Structures are given as C-alpha cells and as structure tokens.
Chain A
Amino acid sequence: MSYLQIEQLTKSYAKQTILQNINLNLNQGEFLALLGPSGSGKSTILKLLAGIEAPDAGEIRLAGHLLNPVAAHQREIVLLFQQPYLFPFLSVAENIGFGLKARKVAKKLIAQKVAELLDLIELSGMEQRKPQQLSGGQQQRIALARALAVQPKVLLLDEPLSSLDPEIRGSLQGVIARLHRELQMTTIIVTHDLSEALALAERTALLINGSLVADLPSIELFERPPNRAAAQFVGVGAIIAGHMHGTTFDSKLGQFNGNFGPNTFHVAIRPEHIQINNSALQPSIAAQIIERRYLGERWEYRLQAAEQLIVVREAGQAPRDIGQTVDLHFPPQQLFALAD
C-alpha cells in the first residue's frame, strides 16, 4: 500500500472545474514533481493535501488514514509557498522554531533544532537576524528550514524557487536535493519548469487542465512522453500523424518502421534525436529551415516539411542558414508512439 494515496480528487471553484478525478500514489521517502502549465491545478492539489482547502470529492490517505476530516494544523503535512512568508516580527531563529513552539517543545530543544537546521542549510550565525535583513534566497532557505523543523510526514513545495534569480535557483535546487537525500522526506514539488522537475524529482506527474495526463519516472516522461498532451508540454521535435500498416507507420512525411502497436495514430521524436544532412542515413526527408535560435550549447531550428513543423536541436555546429533546405533523418529506434 502506498504511503500517500490520492483517489478521485475533484475540486471546482465557482462552477469551474479545477481538478477532475486525480489519482496519485506516493511511497514513503519518494520525491514527486507535479508539473504543468499555469492554471492546471497543481497548487490546488497541494492546498487540498495540506488541508487549506477541502475537496469536492475524492479521498486523501496518509499511511492508510483518511485525511479528509483532519484539520490542516493536525495533518503533519507542511506546505512551503512560492514566497517564503517569514513572519516579519520574528527573528530567523524564532521563525524556524515556530512550528516547534506551536507543538509546545521545550525552549532548549527548539534552540538545538534551530542550530542544527541552520547548519544544514548553511546559514549558521544568522539566528538573530530579522527576515528583512536577508536576501530572497536566504529567506527561502529559512522557510525551508522552518518547514523541516517540524519533521512533517509530507513536505509540499509550491514553486518555492520560481521568484528567485537563476543562479540562486540552481543553488537552492542543490540544497533541496541534498536535504531530500539526507532526510528521505516524502516530498512533492509543484513546478511549471520541466528542467526543475528533472533536476529534483525521480518521478513526475504532468497535469494539464485539471487532469493528470502522465505519471512516470521523470527521465522517461522527458525522453518518451506517453501521449500528445504530454509531448506538447515537454516539447518534442515532431508529432507525426499517420496510421499503421503492419509494422510500418504511414505518414505525410513518409514511412517509418517500428513496432508502435496497431492503434497508433501519432508518433514522435525528441528534437535532439533528429539528424541533419547525414546522407549516409536513409530514409531522409527534405525540410526547409524557417527559424533558428541559439540555446547556449545547441542551435534550435524550426523546419517545415510537407506542412509539418519540425524542431531540431543540434550541438556544436556553426549555424545553418534560414531558408536552406536540408535532409532530416529520424532514427527508427528513437521514434515512439503517442496515445491520443
């Protein structure tokens, strides 16, 4: 039995359905990313788990116990918000010890725990500072320490890094990953950033328009998204429409060999797996470059072939010219079927 079970969770606001029949299971100590565009209902799931909002239907169970009737402050599930929301009238130490004080833990033990956590987040010596005296990254670390202080059964992170600079975000991702490795706390992070989900979580659930469209190991979701909605969100090189003829997939772009299954109507490939101008490889498809942009380590090209838009990412090359016609090769082993 899973540690955290979410069954048929549904939530609406003012007749607008935000979540519909969400089913999710988490094992103890697992790190799950809830990925999706803005407004997809990710944060709502966290609010329902934390008990800040009540579901219209569905059940939440923790270690077998039904959580629905349990008040938020008794759930032992801590939600870390997008903003740190450190209490401005308390010092750093008092902020970290807040949850322990609410649990009536002895002052001496609170001080000990605060010192340990400050050490863990590498901010020792800042006990007496006020939140206003800290940088955004430091504030978010303190908020994380404050959440960890109460040793929650589940830690919920609601886009806690989205308001930070890229450099600080990277360093805090490292802190979160390290803390999860060391503490093995069951954690769910909400993010709209695929790279963040890949960097932190071993498993990612993709939510679009209030429905769960994928729930897979993070790398698998990135490499081989299972359906069109997931493929469009994670970004693939091409989604090719067609139909199966035996072991061949027929499309406007040509025929592709592969055992995609009898009811396959779409196949896809990642943009970095499409090869350009390698004449030794057949079959090849002629396509015209219509746009290009530099991504840092790779060039990304948008190409047109038989009314199909194709995205290709190519590393370590001088840029190709816009308007140039090139041959594209889709390695059969890199093509995968998409469910509708």
Chain B
Amino acid sequence: MAKSRRWLGLAPASIIMLGLFGGSLGYGIAQSLGWLPFLGQRQLSLAAYRNVLAGEQLGGQWWQALLFSLWVSLAATLGSALICLGLLSSIAERQQQYRGLSTISNLHLAIPHSVWAMALLLVLSQSGIFARIGFALGWLDQPSDFPVLVRDRWGIGIIVAYITKEVPFLLLMGLASLRQQGREYLLVAQSLGANRWQRVRLVLWPLLAPSLIGGSLLVFSFIFGAYEVPALVGVRYPEMLATMALELFLNPDLHARAEGMAVSLLMSLIILLVIGLAWRWRRAEQQP
C-alpha cells in the first residue's frame, strides 16, 4: 500500500519527464528511421544508419569525426582530471585555501562555454593578443608566426578551451569530497608515516576517485556531444560528431535530417557505452 502510494506520488513528475524526454527520444528515433511525414515519407528503414556508417559520402566523414571526437573528448577529459588532481593534491592539506579555490571555480563556471571559446580565440589565435604581444616584444617576426593553437587540425584549441572550462567544474566536485574530513584523513596518514606521494596515492586518490571519475564521465559526455566550442575554435575538417550532426540537421535538403538524427542517436549510444564500461570497471574495482 505504502509502496503504491509512493509511486502514485511520483506519478505527476514521472509522467511529465517521460512525456517530454520519451516523446522527443521516440520522435528522434522515428526520424532517424526515415519517418519524415512533412516530406510525405512514412516508411521506416535503416537507410540513414547505413548512409552514416557505410555510405559513400557520409561513411568516411563519420569515422573521421568519430575518431576526432573521441580524441578531443578523451584528451580534454583526462587533461582536466589530471590538472584537477594535481591542484587538489597541492592544496588538500591547506584547508584555508578551499574557499578561495571554490569561489574562483564558481565564478569561472558562470562564464558560458561559447564566451570562453571566443575569449580564447581572441587570446590564442595568430591575430590574437598573445601573437601581438610577441610581435611587439620582438619575439616574433610576424604575428602569424605564433603557433597555430586554435582552429588547428589536432583540435588543440578545442581541447584547451574545454580543459580550462572543465577543471573548475571537477575542482568543485573534488572540493566537496575533500570538505568531508579529507584534510583529517591526510593528517592521519601523515602521522602514520605516509610521505607526500603515498598520501596522494593511498588516501587522496581513493577519496577523490568517486567524484572525479563521476565528474569526468559527465565532462566526457558533455564534450563528446557539445557543438558550440568546436564550431568556434575548431576547423571544418576534421570536425566533431556534434558539428556533423547539426550540419546534417540544418541541411536545406530536409531528407538529411534522418542522417542527422542517426548521428545524434549513435553519439548517445557511444556515451551510454562509455558510462556502462566505466560503471562496470568501478564495480569490479570495489569488489573485495
């Protein structure tokens, strides 16, 4: 009785959530299967998926974009997590610095990704502030001699933009774990004879791992699926999957919407796969 009441209590929120989320997901799946009633197309098929994965035109573009997206997402996620771990290791035993770092991180989080990417463009591009300073100081013969750090084919600009944006997010998650007696655990370890490296490896990492891994998965999923930063500081080739999906979706030829939806859904499947693997790995690690 109590159980059914609990479900009944959750029903209004669940219905709205399922309606909105399930409805759009269902509509997206239907479009990816070629259900495009506004074009008079109502027959379902896997043609869009075939085109995306093995089509003459899109097939190569998909695999290239997939590899590029995985590279950018993994590099930016790992880079953010490592920088975050390094920063937290350096301040973990100085609790008085938690607040300052937390304030800076919160302020930084308030800056939208697109604004941050544009700021990086202004600073790091070959006509940007750093290039001009280098030229003014005589370090560069021409501003264009400044290394290509944005709109480059390796996605360095995208990776830098994401790392500088996601580190504060991961820091906040890590600080939340540290605030729960993190400093005390480190003091205990120190008193028991653990040196600085042992304290990081044997205490700090196990304390931070759940929040950092969880946060990193969120960061990975976000970067893998986000559009605006690659659009601003990336190049047209290679492009990321999110850019490819949006371009297909906005194509004047409305038939391309099915492929756009197929790319989006395949991206979602990849993210779910990564989360599933990470979850299994954590579970296996937690087994005695």
User: Which A residues contact B (CB, under 8 angstroms)?
Assistant: 50-52, 72-74, 76-79, 81, 83, 85, 87, 89-91, 98-99, 101-103, 128, 146-147, 150
B82 adjacent to chain A (CB < 8 Å): no
Identify which of B187, B190, B192 gathers the most chain A CB atoms within 10 Å of its CB.
B192
Q: Are B202 and A101 in contact (CB under 8 A)?
A: yes
A73 with B195: in contact, given A87-B203, A89-B207, A101-B202 (CB under 8 Å)? Answer: yes
Measured CA separation A73–B189 after assembly (Å) = 8
Could you show 8 A-B contacts with beta carbons less than 8 Å apart? Answer: A50-B191, A73-B194, A77-B191, A78-B191, A79-B191, A81-B187, A87-B189, A89-B206
Measured CA separation A83–B183 after assembly (Å) = 13
B116 adjacent to chain A (CB < 8 Å): no
Contact indicator per residue, chain B 166-200, by CB within 8 Å of chain A (1) or not (0): 00000000000000010011011111111100100
CB distance from A78 to the nearest CB of B (A): 5
B112 adjacent to chain A (CB < 8 Å): no
Q: Are A85 and B192 in contact (CB under 8 A)?
A: no
A residues within 8 A CB of B188? 79, 81, 85, 87
- Nearest-neighbor residue (CB-CB) of A130 within chain B: B288
A87 with B190: in contact, given A73-B195, A128-B288 (CB under 8 Å)? Answer: no
Q: Are A72 and B190 in contact (CB under 8 A)?
A: yes
Measured CA separation A98–B202 after assembly (Å) = 9
Identify which of B181, B191, B193, B195 gathers the most chain A CB atoms within 10 Å of its CB.
B191
B residues within 8 A CB of A150? 192-193
Q: Are B187 and A103 in contact (CB under 8 A)?
A: no
B residues within 8 A CB of A73? 190-195
Q: Are A76 and B192 in contact (CB under 8 A)?
A: no
Q: Are A83 and B184 in contact (CB under 8 A)?
A: yes
A residues within 8 A CB of B206? 87, 89-90
Measured CA separation A310–B184 after assembly (Å) = 44
Q: Are B191 and A102 in contact (CB under 8 A)?
A: no
Measured CA separation A73–B196 after assembly (Å) = 9
Q: Are B288 and A102 in contact (CB under 8 A)?
A: no
Measured CA separation A74–B193 after assembly (Å) = 6
Complex partner residue of A78 from B184, B192, B198, CB under 8 angstroms: B192
Identify which of B189, B190, B203 gathers the most chain A CB atoms within 10 Å of its CB.
B190
DSSP majority for the B interface?
helix
CB distance from A214 to the nearest CB of B (A): 28
Q: Are B288 and A91 in contact (CB under 8 A)?
A: yes
Complex partner residue of A52 from B181, B187, B202, B288, CB under 8 angstroms: B187
A residues within 8 A CB of B181? 83, 85
A102 with B192: in contact, given A89-B206, A89-B207 (CB under 8 Å)? Answer: yes
A52 with B190: in contact, given A87-B206, A102-B198, A102-B202 (CB under 8 Å)? Answer: yes
Complex partner residue of B184 from A76, A77, A81, CB under 8 angstroms: A81
Measured CA separation A72–B190 after assembly (Å) = 6
- Nearest-neighbor residue (CB-CB) of B187 within chain A: A52
Measured CA separation A52–B188 after assembly (Å) = 10
A residues within 8 A CB of B192? 73, 78, 98-99, 102, 146-147, 150
CB distance from B46 to the nearest CB of A (A): 46
CB distance from A27 to the nearest CB of B (A): 23
B residues within 8 A CB of A98? 189, 192, 194, 202
Q: Are B202 and A72 in contact (CB under 8 A)?
A: no
Measured CA separation A51–B207 after assembly (Å) = 23
- Nearest-neighbor residue (CB-CB) of B203 within chain A: A87
- Nearest-neighbor residue (CB-CB) of A76 within chain B: B193
Complex partner residue of B191 from A52, A83, A87, CB under 8 angstroms: A52
Give the 8 A-B residue pairs with the shortest CB-CB distance, closest first.
A99-B192, A102-B194, A89-B206, A79-B191, A72-B190, A85-B188, A102-B193, A85-B184
Complex partner residue of B185 from A87, A99, A103, A147, CB under 8 angstroms: A87
A residues within 8 A CB of B198? 102
CB distance from B248 to the nearest CB of A (A): 46
A residues within 8 A CB of B191? 50, 52, 72-73, 77-79
CB distance from A338 to the nearest CB of B (A): 39
CB distance from A14 to the nearest CB of B (A): 11
A residues within 8 A CB of B288? 91, 128
Measured CA separation A81–B185 after assembly (Å) = 10
Q: Give residues of chain B (40-85) contacting chain A, Cβ–Cβ below 8 Å.
A: none
- Nearest-neighbor residue (CB-CB) of A89 within chain B: B206
Measured CA separation A73–B194 after assembly (Å) = 6
Q: Are B207 and A102 in contact (CB under 8 A)?
A: no
Excluding A52-B187, A91-B288, A102-B192, 4 further A-B contacts by CB distance (< 8 Å) are A50-B191, A99-B192, A99-B193, A147-B192
A102 with B195: in contact, given A52-B190, A72-B190, A73-B190 (CB under 8 Å)? Answer: yes
CB distance from A176 to the nearest CB of B (A): 18
B residues within 8 A CB of A89? 206-207
- Nearest-neighbor residue (CB-CB) of A103 within chain B: B193
A residues within 8 A CB of B202? 98, 101-102
A residues within 8 A CB of B189? 87, 98, 102
CB distance from B198 to the nearest CB of A (A): 5
B residues within 8 A CB of A83? 181, 184
